[in-house]
Structure 1
């Protein structure tokens, strides 16, 4: 990071990043934002079609990106993805652990046990697996790094009928705190982002967005609209960059005041 005459430069050119779930939504927006900042990006995505689309979008604007098909619930797959990152770009500086599935919609007294297990596997265990292999690589390199885990506005203001999703995202915040405590000595910063409702395909599947959104958006913030994926992406890029060089162990709200409501 350079600071001169009040100007701050994030200076990300030449860095190498992994973004999981980068085929759509917040992950895609973050990968594109990093690519536009001069970062070499690994698109870690289980869906080849969307992963390749993100790769091509970054390349079409002069950036460097490689799609690597990845199942974040498999330790072997995540390890292979990190090895592929080093093979392609020589190192790992930044990791954005974003991959997740949509919230459940049932009361605790009625929750589906298979859905519970799948949600915790995809939304929590996958983050632990990614952290395991990302941290090993960063520690071996000895040059620090920045990791950003995607939590949720549900960790700021829990909602009814999302028990598995809420438990998983609280777990992500806990993992973030533990990883920050353990790895500051290695110069590795670990933070979380807590976005409220964001206009993605996942949100569209959860709600009927063809209907009037006035009542709906008023439930999720003070600004009268949903977040855009790019707004969450910009926060992730800031946490990944040297501009946030003294920030670690936080769960950063991107919520338009949702937690205050």
Structure 2
């Protein structure tokens, strides 16, 4: 029996990085997956990879800063597969590194619109879809180890992710009585396009992060996806309201 056998899964940020790794993993573990992201070419590539491996996947273009688009993407999952069981809210954007007093207001607003409001919009739509179709299910949000401490290089990003932790806990308390579990993962240094963009503006970033990580290496996106898959599975049936660090010990 595979980890997610028979589940219907919705994944945001599924065109690359952790989201793409998760979509592929969820399909290998038996889920039928609806991929959502802004870039259709990336979505098509991942969808075709899943299908080539014998999995079931479809995709929808979705900007997490667009409320109607977020709701429509979740509704599309139900249209294609008939219900929603599990959701992985992974999509996010990064800010330009630097102290908070030099960050343009428009960029702060965009980070919050995608990384916080986008998660809130998705969760609200997902809870409604799970309640109306499957009846019970699970949601996992992608936070960040950077939300668990002061974050001088990415202050807006860290603040939005810390707010996601709070939303996760509040949702777990609210929807637990209905059988809907809500958790978050807090990845550490992971080799994604996002962290490479950060490194381009912060030379030596990988050396600093690896030195602060007891396992002395960065994570691969697949390793982060494994944690999300477990939390979404029935094997985590008594886990809700947690923010699980997947950081190589960086915050130990």
Give the TM-score category using the shorter length.
over 0.9
Question: What secondary structure is seen at the aligned counterpart in 2 of 1:38?
Answer: coil
Q: In the alignment, what sits opposite 2:192? A: 200
Corresponding residue to 1:106 among 78, 88, 98: 98
Contact 2:199 2:206 in 1 (8 A): no
Aligned to 1:74: 66
Which residue is 1:152 aligned to? 144
What's 1:3 paired with? none
Question: 1:155–1:169: 8 Å Cα contact kept in structure 2?
Answer: yes
Match for residue 134 of structure 1? Answer: 126
What is aligned with 1:191? 183
Structure 2 partner of 1:232: 224
* 1:177 alignment counterpart: 169
The 3 A distance-change label for structure 1 pair 66 and 105 is same
Q: TM-score, normalised by structure 2?
A: 0.95
Task: State yes or no: 1:97 paired with 2:89.
Answer: yes
Runs of 4+ in 1 over 4 A off after TM superposition: 211-214
Structure 1 partner of 2:153: 161
Q: Counterpart in 1 of 2:34?
A: 42
Q: Give the distance between the partners of 1:182 and 1:214, measured in 2 at CA.
A: 39
Partner of 1:30 in structure 2?
22
Structure 1 residues 105 and 57: alpha-carbon distance in aligned structure 2, compared to 1, 3 A threshold: same
d(CA) in 2 for partners of 1:214, 1:129: 33
For residues 102 and 137 of structure 2, the distance between their equivalents in structure 1, rounded to whole angstroms, comes to 42
Secondary structure in structure 1 of the residue aligned to 2:251: helix
Cα offset, 1:257, TM superposition: 1.0
Q: Distance in 2 between matches of 1:162 and 1:214?
A: 15
Residues 109, 75 of structure 1: alpha-carbon distance in 2 compared, 3 angstrom cutoff: closer
For normalisation by structure 1, the TM-score amounts to: 0.91
Are the structure 2 counterparts of residues 201 and 147 from structure 1 closer, same or farther at C-alpha, using a change threshold of 3 Å?
A: same
- Structure 1 distance, partners of 2:22, 2:158, is 23
